Amino acid sequence: MANSNNFLQFLVLISAVLILFAIPSESQKNGCGQACKTLNDCPGQLICTSGKCTDDPDVGTHICSSGGGGGGGSGGCKSSGRLPGRNPPSRDACNTATGAECCTASKTYAKYDCSPAVSSTTPAILTLNDFTQGGDGGGASSCEGKFYSNSEKVVALSTGWFNGRSRCSKMIRISANGKSVVARVVDECDSRNGCDAEHGYQPPCRNNIVDASVAVWNALGVPKDRQGDDLSVTWEDNCKSSGQLRGRDPPTRDACNTDTGAECCSSSKSYPKFDCSPTVSSATLAILTLNDFTDGGDGGGRSSCEDKYYSNSEKVVALSTGWFDSRSRCSKMIRISANGRSVVARVVDECDSRNGCDDEHGYQPPCRNNIVDASVAVWNALGVPKDRQGDDFSVTWAMA
């Protein structure tokens, strides 16, 4: 009887092991390791290598190596589907002068609504585009409605990075080969659509592409015979002053409140203006300044987000214009870190980086482009001594 029980237990154990091996892992469910012959046999961002679907090192996916997620720390930027290819109606319908791929009816192509997260060193693939009229860039640029000579440093960005035109005409810095170049974003490299006349019968753009003019490639020192090959680069938003604002003296001593150490404008000076701020990351470098958000404080009028004043015990901040991002961060929570401590505060106003030196701005200069202008409660939570509150203070911040 004992032998019979032992045999039954053995069978149960074997069955459990077989069931365990039969259950696919998360990576197997995503297509990792499945047999393939071509790229089209693999789902999403996977590629076919040595007869098996695996991560694409150019995109930076870790679906197979870590069981999930998207490329470049994006928190999960996966393909939104596949687009069936179409053959160009004629040889001239698809321009391959810059090494572009032409669609074919025998393939399907990955589509993307997103791109990897942007940082101060965003990994990307540089491709070559001809932005001249008749070039493989297609029609006039979607940002400025025009064409560009090959001597102009211009780029198109994948759909996710183009971000609903929010980067139109903005400058980005591209780095590779120990060199860097600043170029203007003038178009979208469409990651959702392709294989039609509008897109020159080329496939949808991959989600990690900076499609650049010859001038950009030349500035990075890439030899002519390599221009058009996929080139690994990094890029970041490039934020420079948009001009200078001439100062004006306050009409009276009381017109500019200096209680929190604020600077007052002077007619003998001019002050830089900014339309942008440095790229936001999980640890965005910033300068903490002190603001009094009470009625009559140096914060000026009511908050632009919530149309109210705040006591000094409330943890609230104003962000530089670029970070305020056209009110998109209104009433959002951010985490500010320094001194080995962190505090969560609510964004209630803009620290205007474009305008200043007038009554509306308390005769103070435009805000610098890297400012978190915080209430006393935020400074206290970070453990900053009273006699240092109001000094420029280095911090990092991120969305909470």
The string of DSSP letters for 156-186 reads EEEHHHHTTTTTTT-EEEEEETTEEEEEEEE
Q: Residue 64 CB: number of other CB atoms within 10 A?
A: 21
Q: State the pairing for strand pair 81-84/179-189.
A: unpaired
pLDDT at 36: 73
Q: For residue 107, which amino acid is it?
A: K
Can you list the domains of the chain with their CATH numbers?
23-74 (no CATH), 79-237 (2.40.40.10), 243-399 (2.40.40.10)
Q: Which are the contacts of 153, defined by CB distance < 8 A and separation ≥ 6?
A: 181, 182, 183, 184, 212, 213, 215, 216, 219
The predicted-structure confidence for 36-74, as pLDDT tens digits, reads as follows: 765 556 654 456 666 777 655 433 344 454 322 233 333
Q: How far apart are CA 207 and CA 215, in angstroms?
A: 23
pLDDT at 5: 53
pLDDT at 272: 94
Q: Is 83 in contact with 101 (CB distance < 8 Å)?
A: no
pLDDT at 42: 64
Q: Which residues of the chain have pLDDT under 70?
A: 1-31, 37-50, 54-76, 137-138, 299-300
Q: How far apart are CA 6 and CA 109, in angstroms?
A: 55
- Burial (CB count <10 Å: 0-12, 13-18, 19+), residue 165: exposed
Q: For residue 155, which amino acid is it?
A: V
User: Which stretches within 81-157 are classed as H helix?
Assistant: none
pLDDT at 50: 61
Among candidate residues 277, 260, 266, the one with its CA nearest the CA of residue 352: 277
pTM of the full predicted structure? Answer: 0.55
Q: For residue 350, which amino acid is it?
A: E
pLDDT at 25: 46
Q: Which helix (H) or strand (E) holds 349?
A: strand 341-351
SS (H, E, C) 181-234: EEEEEEEEECCCCCCCHHHCCCCCCCCCEEEECHHHHHHCCCCHHHECECEEEE
Q: For residue 200, which amino acid is it?
A: G
Distance in Å from the first CA to the final CA of the chain: 63
pLDDT at 237: 86
pLDDT at 75: 41
The predicted-structure confidence for 173-225, as pLDDT tens digits, reads as follows: 999 989 999 999 999 999 999 999 888 888 999 999 999 999 999 999 999 99
pLDDT at 95: 81
SS (H, E, C) 277-302: CCCCCCCEEEEEEECCCCCCCCCCCC
Among candidate residues 78, 183, 165, the one with its CA nearest the CA of residue 129: 183
